[in-house]
Amino acid sequence: MNRRLSVLGVAFALLWAVLVARVAYIQVFRASHYRGIAEGQSIARDVLTPARGEVYDRTGALLVVNMRGTPTSGASDVARMVPASAPAGGMTRLYPNGPLAGQVLGMVGRDGYGQSGLELILDRDLRGTDGWRYTRRDARRRYAPGASDQIQQPVDGLNVRLTIDARIQSIAELALERGVQRTGARSGVVVLVEPRSGDIVALANYPLFDPNASRSRASDNWRNHGIAMVYEPGSTFKVFTAAALMEEGRIRATDTVDAEGGRWQIGGQWIRDTHPMDRVSFADAVAYSSNIVFAKTSTRISQESFYKYLRSFGFGMKTGVTLPAEETGVLKPVAAWSGRTQQTIAFGHEVSVTPLQLAMAFAAIANDGTLMRPRLVQSWVDGEGRAVRAEPVRSVRRVLSERTARSLRDMMTGVVDYGTARDIRHPYISIAGKTGSAQKINPETGRYIEGSYYSSFAGMAPAEDPVLVAVVVVDDPKKFKYGGQAAGPIFREILDRVSERGLGGEWPAPSRPVLAETPARAVEARAPVETGLASFGARGVTGRSASSARTGAVVSSAETTLRPDRPSMPDLQGSTLRDALYRLRALGIEVDYEGAGRVREQAPAAGTPLRRGDRVRLQLGWSG
């Protein structure tokens, strides 16, 4: 018994010695290690979120803001929320204008990272840099006051100023919405560009997308079809065929071509014209959009040269705009062309573009032949309002001579003056444009869909020295399929409203012209002198005589009484047909004219007294 107790005592002594040794080891030799573990359990690291950069339009209007709290019904809650001026929890990204430019601005996810649009592609600079703070907590994870905190302050994101003008964006979206609804179309896109700088002043999509409304995030409306929609441009592409031919000296505006009465066969397939013609000038082939003339004339230059010009305009490649998911379009290399590809591309088939690509290519013609890189971001600004960096205006390349670009614009005025877009003629703003209609392609079968079209219009104003270029594309209109009917009126409405309201800053608003209401054939005779599209500069004024502008008389071509001072024949040399017609008809004079282009000869001569019933004869032509 005593022996057993002795053994048990020795065992307990050994166990106690082991425990003492273990405690000594932990407290003496491993003290710093376990002290570190304890510190880690009592000190918490909190992430300090920076304020995300805000977004402004070109005039300084706020487009995106950070707010405290969570909106319950989108932009309508703006008035009930307080802007967040410092990093804090519960931050919400708010778009105070609702769906205005929604596809361009994009949206931010719940994690605070950009998911689409500018919010995505500019995410790194907008998001800023996280900070941190170490604080001591008790065993229940409660903050222990009095302990010294370690803090690294966050760096707020940069603010960005865009080239978008919110007022013009609103005008474009409203006109597009009405146009899509009027035609019963599926959707539509409008791109507005300043050709000299490449600045995008509006990029509208319909249906609209409101980044504030979470339910819309599951829809397809967030896609920006201005850069992501790839489609066959149809007849709007003829302008670039004309550009290549004229730059190479293979055709002039006055040259005539046999349009074959509206039917012509190539490669076993028939090409047809909507406006059948026989022999026609190249300028009129543009105005009336002859597929046959362009198919015939395109082969006057080599396939390689034709391809070179189209690539030079930017087709088949990204424009480099500051937006994610931009498509390249489709321009097959010459090695992949069939025997009729060149002739088909000549009138806008077997080639695909995005609306922005097309707008920038037309802007090159408006810019006297120089292609610009599209600019959407003007500058970056820090929280103190200091400019951090600016996005420069960049030219890409010269694609045409100034002479060819001006000749193209002259021919494009015929499209609006008397051609396929004559219904959108403006009473005092000269417009150069081109219509287009192309059947949609079924992506699964590769075949055209019967009765389904992309209808488009590309225009610029004032035609003589454009400061605004627009491309309008209407997807699958049900009531009108031609570009002049479906897309042209949208451009005209935008132009009307922009010229009335002005663009702000360097583009002051003009006075509204007074138009004749009755009789039905009355023409405009009173309008502000040197206003025209004054928001684009006084150089755009056309379509009136100075004397009629001063008198304010409304003149009917059916009932005309010439003023007692017996007006004389004005000097019309070099005038556009549109300008000459308005000036003469405002005086009650009938006009006969031949040819296309600008006035080269007139009868009677300038200064000849005019009488009621006199007829004037004009001979039109092209310089060079």
Q: Which of 115-119, 121-125, 185-189, 576-580 has the lowest mean pLDDT?
A: 576-580
Tens digit of each residue's pLDDT (9 = 90 or more) over 66-103: 876 544 444 444 433 433 333 344 578 899 999 999 99
SS3 311: helix
Helix (H) or strand (E) holding 246: helix 238-247
Asked whether the beta carbons of 616 and 590 are under 8 A apart, the reply is: yes
pLDDT at 597: 67
Which tokens in the block code for residue 556? 């009917």
Per DSSP, the residues of 319-341 read ---SSSS----B---GGG--TTH
Question: What is the value of pTM for the model shown?
Answer: 0.74
pLDDT at 75: 41
The most distant pair of C-alpha atoms in the chain lies apart, rounded to whole Å, by: 151
Which tokens in the block code for residue 374? 């599209």
pLDDT at 541: 28
CATH 3.40.50.620 fits 46-160, yes or no: no
pLDDT band at 145 (very low <50, low <70, confident <90, very high): low
pLDDT at 622: 58
Task: Give the CA angle between residues 446, 451, 454 to the nearest 5°.
Answer: 75
Percent of the chain with pLDDT over 70: 77
Which tokens in the block code for residue 162? 């865009």
pLDDT at 34: 60
Tens digit of each residue's pLDDT (9 = 90 or more) over 228-281: 999 999 999 999 999 999 999 999 999 999 999 999 988 778 999 988 999 999
pLDDT at 562: 30
pLDDT at 269: 85
Contacts of 197 (CB under 8 A, 6+ apart): 163, 372, 375, 393
* Best CA proximity match to 415, nearest among 427, 399, 430: 430
422, amino acid identity: R
pLDDT at 526: 24
CATH class, range 522-621: alpha beta
DSSP state of 513: P
SS3 433: strand
Per-domain residue ranges of the chain: 46-160, 166-501, 522-621
Q: Report the distance separating Cα 223 and Cα 208, nearest Å.
A: 10
Give the N- to C-terminal CA distance of the chain in Å, as an integer. 133
C-alpha dihedral over 11, 12, 14, 17, to 10 degrees? 180
Please give the C-alpha separations between residue 192 and each of 429, 451, 477, in angstroms, as whole numbers: 17, 28, 21
Range 386-391 average pLDDT: 89
Helix (H) or strand (E) holding 387: strand 387-390
| CA–centroid distance for 195 within its chain | 11
pLDDT at 5: 72
On the question of pLDDT at 139 being above 90, the answer is no
DSSP state of 479: S
Architecture, CATH, for domain 166-501: 3-Layer(aba) Sandwich (3.40)
DSSP state of 148: P
pLDDT band at 557 (very low <50, low <70, confident <90, very high): very low
Range 570-591 average pLDDT: 74
Using DSSP bridges, classify how beta strands 159-162 and 55-56 pair: parallel, antiparallel or unpaired.
Answer: parallel
Q: Report the distance separating Cα 98 and Cα 301, nearest Å.
A: 50
Which tokens in the block code for residue 344? 């088909």
Helix then strand then coil, % of the chain, to nearest 5: 35, 25, 40
Radius of gyration of the chain (CA): 34
| CA–centroid distance for 229 within its chain | 13
The neighbour count for residue 5, using CB atoms within 10 Å, is: 9
Percent of the chain with pLDDT over 90: 53
Higher pLDDT, 81 or 56: 56
pLDDT at 14: 76
Asked whether the beta carbons of 227 and 326 are under 8 A apart, the reply is: yes
Using DSSP bridges, classify how beta strands 256-258 and 279-281 pair: parallel, antiparallel or unpaired.
Answer: antiparallel
DSSP state of 28: I
**What order do you get walking across the sheet with 43-48 strand by strand?**
43-48, 131-136, 150-152
Please give the C-alpha separations between residue 157 and each of 45, 78, 199, 383, in angstroms, as whole numbers: 22, 22, 24, 8
pLDDT at 406: 96
Q: Report the distance separating Cα 181 and Cα 168, nearest Å.
A: 20
Lookup result for tokens 């300038």: 606
Please give the C-alpha separations between residue 536 and each of 55, 462, 503, in angstroms, as whole numbers: 26, 8, 8
The neighbour count for residue 131, using CB atoms within 10 Å, is: 17
pLDDT band at 570 (very low <50, low <70, confident <90, very high): confident
Range 412-436 average pLDDT: 93
What counts of helices (H) and strands (E) characterise the chain? 18, 27
Helix (H) or strand (E) holding 395: strand 395-398
Q: What is the mean pLDDT of the chain?
A: 80
Q: Report the distance separating Cα 287 and Cα 278, nearest Å.
A: 15
Asked whether the beta carbons of 591 and 581 are under 8 A apart, the reply is: yes
pLDDT at 571: 84
Lookup result for tokens 């003469």: 584
